[in-house]
Each structure stands twice: as structure tokens, then as C-alpha cells.
């Protein structure tokens, strides 16, 4: 019975995953970018997606974001089969993706960036509503933005990341995907973004965090999913795994028994 308890502890309570992908494969010509990838994300959970350059992280994100179609495999969202055919269908499903370049408009202020392309009230832009909603959103995220009426160009890297994450929440997603959100940030700004990720988890969102920074991963992720050469190479609970074990799974150093075991246990769970 000890084994059963161990397995139960692998995942948060009895909840169903909000996102479940199975056997996702994707090739670009002769390049097999992804082969039979499985991934689960539960509500209120931060899953770090890690792997060396070329492991397939961005390709997986782009499939979920509707940028590329998968060649094969299934996606289940909120318990129902889902087809993601475009960025719009990904958003409508409830997946918000913050790409590394953030795609903010530097010359526009924070409010305008938050509502870009989704101004409420069809044509008539309700500035007062947008400004209030912007403040409310940033307050919920405990974001440190001096004013919502300053141009995004004058914000720091961490503040820009905050605006991009806040913008992703406007559509009320269930899953937020962050691609290297701390890559260009200093120590204090990184801490702010990690706090922000914890706010997202508190709101019950599932977060997929792509990062090369193991300190960030260990600080904020509940589970770590390792990709190597386009394949799953282990799933770990962050609390149970050492830095060395994650690195071994990323680099494929030997037949690491810890990574193989953890990966097997998690797959049985699914």
C-alpha cells in the first residue's frame, strides 16, 4: 500500500489535469522535433519544461499555441478532446502563451498594451473601464508598475514581462505558457517574475514554465518535465529531485535510475 500512497502523492489531490497531451509528434522535413510526447498540467500547478537547446520545448509550445499543427497525438483540455488549429483557437480554448519576445508595443502605454486587439465595447473604446481593469489586474498580480499610463518602452525588463503576463490573463485562460520569462532579467526582477508565477498558481491556473535556469525551476515549479532529443526523458516532483538528477536527465548522462523511475511512476499515474 505504500506504493499506492507514493503514486497518489505524485499529483495534486484528486483533480483532473486541465491539459493532457499524449503521443504528440512533430517533424520538420527530415527533422523529428518531437516524438510521442506526453504532458499533464493540473489546475494550480507550475510545470517546468526543461531540456537542452533543440530538445523540442519551443516546438511543443508552438503546437499548444496554435502556431504549428502536430503531426499526430491527442490533446485533452478540461476533460474534452481538443483540436488546436490556430492561435485564435488556442486562446479560445483557454491557453495563453507569452512568447520570449513578448510582442509588446513599445510606444503604447500599459493599458493600451493590455487591451491591444481586445478593446471592450466593440469599437467604442471605454478608456475608463480599461484603466480600472488594468489596475485591478496588476494589483491582483502584486505587480510593481509605477503607472498604467506610461509607455512600455520606459519600463524595465521585469516590468515588461509583468505587462505581457497580465495581458495574457485578459482572456481568462486556464493555462499560461511562459517561454524563458527570466532569461534577460537581473536578480531582483527575476524574483518579481517568480512571485508573479506564484500568483498565477494561487489563481488556480496551470502554468507551463520553460526555463534553462534550474534555480528558477527549483524555486517555483511543482513538477519538472524533461525533454531530450524530442522525447520525454523523465518527470520529477521538484521537492524530491536534486539539481544533479535534473541535469542528468537533460543531458542523458548514463541511464540515470532516478529519472527513469520518476518518469515511469508519473506515466503510470496518468
Ligand X SMILES: Nc1ncnc2c1ncn2[C@@H]1O[C@H](COP(=O)(O)OP(=O)(O)OP(=O)(O)O)[C@@H](O)[C@H]1O
112 touches Mg ion by CB under 5 A: no
Tell me how far apart the alpha carbons of residues 107 and 98 are, in angstroms, rounded to a whole number. Answer: 19
**Closest distance between ligand X and the C-beta of residue 243, in Å?**
18
Q: Does 55 bind ligand X (CB under 6 A)?
A: yes
Cβ pair 185, 212 in contact under 8 A: no
53 binds, among ligand X, Mg ion, none (CB under 5 to 8 A by kind): ligand X
Helix, strand or coil, per DSSP, at residue 57: helix
Q: Does 53 bind ligand X (CB under 6 A)?
A: yes
162: contact with Mg ion by CB under 5 A: no
d(CA 251, CA 228): 7
Q: Is 58 in the site for Mg ion (CB under 5 A)?
A: yes
Provide the strand spans (E) within 72-228. Answer: 72-77, 80-82, 95-98, 175-179, 206-210, 223-228
Give the nearer residue to ligand X in terms of CB position, either 33 or 104: 33
Closer to Mg ion by Cβ: residue 20 or 58 = 58
206 touching ligand X, by CB under 6 A? no
Q: 43, 242 in Cβ contact below 8 A?
A: no
CB atoms within 10 A of CB 157: 16
Say whether residue 30 binds ligand X (CB under 6 A): no
Q: Identify residues 57-86 at the interface with ligand X (CB under 6 A).
A: 57-59
The pairing of beta strand 72-77 with beta strand 19-28:
antiparallel
Which residues bind to Mg ion, rule: CB under 5 A?
Answer: 58
Which residues bind to ligand X, rule: CB under 6 A?
Answer: 28, 31, 33, 51, 53-59
Amino acid at each position: 500500500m505504500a506504493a499506492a500512497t507514493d503514486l497518489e502523492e505524485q499529483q495534486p489531490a484528486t483533480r483532473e489535469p486541465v491539459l493532457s497531451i499524449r503521443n504528440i509528434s512533430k517533424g520538420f522535413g527530415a527533422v523529428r522535433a518531437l516524438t510521442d510526447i506526453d504532458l499533464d498540467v493540473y489546475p494550480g500547478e507550475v510545470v517546468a519544461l526543461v531540456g537542452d537547446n533543440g530538445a523540442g520545448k519551443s516546438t511543443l509550445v508552438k503546437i499548444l499555441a496554435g502556431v504549428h499543427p502536430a503531426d499526430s497525438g491527442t490533446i485533452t483540455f478540461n476533460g474534452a478532446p481538443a483540436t488546436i488549429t490556430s492561435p485564435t483557437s488556442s486562446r479560445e480554448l483557454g491557453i495563453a502563451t507569452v512568447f520570449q519576445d513578448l510582442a509588446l508595443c513599445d510606444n503604447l502605454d500599459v493599458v493600451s498594451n493590455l487591451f491591444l486587439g481586445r478593446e471592450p465595447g466593440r469599437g467604442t473604446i471605454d478608456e475608463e473601464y480599461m484603466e480600472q481593469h488594468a489596475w485591478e489586474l496588476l494589483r491582483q498580480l502584486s505587480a510593481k508598475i509605477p503607472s498604467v499610463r506610461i509607455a512600455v518602452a520606459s519600463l524595465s525588463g521585469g516590468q515588461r514581462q509583468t505587462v505581457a503576463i497580465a495581458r495574457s490573463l485578459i482572456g481568462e485562460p486556464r493555462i499560461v505558457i511562459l517561454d524563458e520569462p527570466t532569461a534577460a532579467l537581473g536578480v531582483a526582477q527575476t524574483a518579481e517574475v517568480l512571485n508573479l508565477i506564484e500568483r498565477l498558481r494561487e489563481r488556480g491556473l496551470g502554468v507551463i514554465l520553460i526555463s534553462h535556469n534550474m534555480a528558477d525551476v527549483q524555486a517555483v515549479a511543482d513538477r519538472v518535465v524533461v525533454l531530450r532529443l524530442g522525447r520525454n526523458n523523465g518527470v520529477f516532483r521538484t521537492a524530491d529531485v536534486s539539481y544533479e538528477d535534473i541535469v542528468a536527465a537533460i543531458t542523458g548522462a548514463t541511464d540515470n535510475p532516478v529519472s527513469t523511475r520518476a518518469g515511469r511512476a508519473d506515466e503510470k499515474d496518468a
